[in-house]
Amino acid sequence: MPFSSLSEIKTRLDAGETSAVEVAKSYLDRIAAHNNTLNAFVHIDPEHVLAQAEASDKYRSKHEARPLEGLPIAVKDIFCTQDGPTQCCSNILKDFHAPYDAHVITKLKEAGAVLVGKTNMDEFAMGSSTETSAFGPCRNPWNTDTIPGGSSGGSASAVAAALTPAALGTDTGGSIRQPASLCGITGLKPTYGRVSRRGIIAFASSLDQAGPMTRTVKDSAMITAAISGHDSADATSVTDAPGISSLNEWLAACDKTDMKGLKIGRPKEYFVDGMDDAVRTTVEAALKQCEELGAEIVDISLPHTKYAVAVYYVIAPSEASANLSRYDGVRFGHRCDNPEDLLDMYTRSRDEGFGSEVKRRILTGAFALSSGYYDAYYLKAQQVRTLIQQDFIKAFEQVDIIATPTSPVTAFKLGEKTDDPLTMYLSDIFTIAVNLAGLPGLSQPCGFADNMPVGLQWIAPAWQEDTLLGAASAYESATDWTAKTPEAFGGGAT
């Protein structure tokens, strides 16, 4: 069972070779054995997990199996769930229990999934290393002295170490794709608006998007098909999303085994000085493999990419400062002891509850939105965001899909960049523009540099997840990188 893909487990369940309870027990055993080392999970309720699995087995015995029947899936601690706490790995939400399920959680339950538990993350998804978590840092199973990426680092670490076959993450500036790259798994960020944001604790409302983190491309397609769809209670959810919609269409997109006729854009701005030489070599080798599969590599330019990090770190903190104003100690969350007055309660509750990185971004955003600075910073950032979007539109007039490194470096040491937030922010330099443009992106393993995983990022036009999945599936079928697993956790050597 360990290191099996979601689709492999589904095949065994459908054939009656195992049961949902047996599958759940095998992963609970691995969590018990390894989570103390990795700190990938921040909440587990084994009895509730087994109760879900038993209910799934009973359902299967009486009805046709649902798309994710009996399959274990972990969820980032940013999704509201009625079962267990939802804390966003922040002291300000410690022991908070949501009164409702996030829309994607409801969709997973309707599809028959067994929810395993909540995974570790950067506090309020603000970070690139899962070191800002109030529950302590998470570790990378390929080298436990290194970070797993962030903010969905717990989900990535758990999948890479086979503590779960799949997990949900959220991606605001690369927080699915970057940790997927650093942990050697597959991570998919859907087009903005394809998946409902209702019940996801907001960081930056115009950027946040939920998506799967899995072993294989097909597994990501299975989960995205289940969680996609219009939600009338979410104003950012698209009513009739173009492109693929049914499960069969999502799975059919994963049947590609070649790239004949595919034009792949290679943006010069993503192969820059300062990028790790071994990462560059590994990604170039992956592009060469794509050529052997029949693709044409076309050099392109995305000239406004150089502004993406600056634009993101104006827009995202600005939206965060507004979203996090609701945590005031009045309605829910942490409240300080014995406040002198209302202002003291607000001030001390927020000071005690929020970590340093969250405070930094709230202050940055509040400044950018303040009177006299809004036009100079936030409005200007939104104007440049439009230019970044237009770059992609022009590029897709020349090519079908774009391929880049996911991260300029492999996983760095724990604590290496915590005192240098600006350097930490550059960790997402290759992923941020995708969120600013609202496009779908996918990271998949494409090799190793210094024995650490390297990710290949695919970027497709809006609503063309089928193109994204087709290219990634063709590359996956011609390589064996998804079969590489951390030896220290019972996997095969690199």
Instruction: Specify if 307 maps to a domain.
Output: no
Note the pLDDT of residue 426.
77
Note the pLDDT of residue 404.
98
Phi, psi of 132 (to 5 degrees): -90, 5
Instruction: Specify if 421 maps to a domain.
Output: no
How far apart CA 11 and CA 445 sit, in angstroms, is 24
| Per-residue pLDDT band at 493 (split at 50, 70, 90) | low
Q: Is the pLDDT of residue 91 over 90?
A: yes
Instruction: Specify if 305 maps to a domain.
Output: no
Q: Is the pLDDT of residue 1 over 80?
A: no
| Per-residue pLDDT band at 26 (split at 50, 70, 90) | very high
Instruction: Specify if 100 maps to a domain.
Output: yes
The stretch 290-297 carries a mean pLDDT of 98
Pairing outcome for strands 401-405 and 72-76: unpaired
Q: Is the pLDDT of residue 193 over 60?
A: yes
| Residue labelled with tokens 């199973």 | 141
Note the pLDDT of residue 372.
87
* Structural domain containing residue 239: 6-259+467-489
- Determine the angle formed by the axes of helices 465-477 and 217-227, rounding to 10 degrees: 160
Is the Cβ–Cβ distance between 165 and 4 less than 8 Å? yes
Q: What is the pLDDT of residues 215-268, one digit of tens each?
A: 999 999 999 999 999 999 999 999 999 999 999 999 999 999 999 999 999 999
Q: Is the pLDDT of residue 494 over 70?
A: no
CATH of the domain at 201: 3.90.1300.10
Q: Is the pLDDT of residue 389 over 90?
A: yes
Looking at the annotation, which residues are catalytic? 76, 151, 175
Token duo for residue 402:
């774009």
Instruction: Specify if 423 maps to a domain.
Output: no
Instruction: Specify if 190 maps to a domain.
Output: yes
Strand partners, 267: 300
Q: Number of structural domains, the chain?
A: 1
Is the Cβ–Cβ distance between 185 and 156 less than 8 Å? yes
What secondary structure, in 3-state letters, does 360-414 show? HHHHHHHHHHCCCCCHHHHHHHHHHHHHHHHHHHHHCCCCCEEEEECCCCCCCEC
Identify residue 409 by its one-letter amino acid code: V
Instruction: Specify if 85 maps to a domain.
Output: yes
Note the pLDDT of residue 272.
83
Instruction: Specify if 13 maps to a domain.
Output: yes
How far apart CA 145 and CA 415 sit, in angstroms, is 9
Q: What is the pLDDT of residues 352-382, one digit of tens each?
A: 999 999 999 999 999 999 988 999 999 999 9
- Torsion 315-414-480-223 (CA) sign: negative
Nearest of 436, 442, 446, 445 to residue 459 by alpha carbon? 442
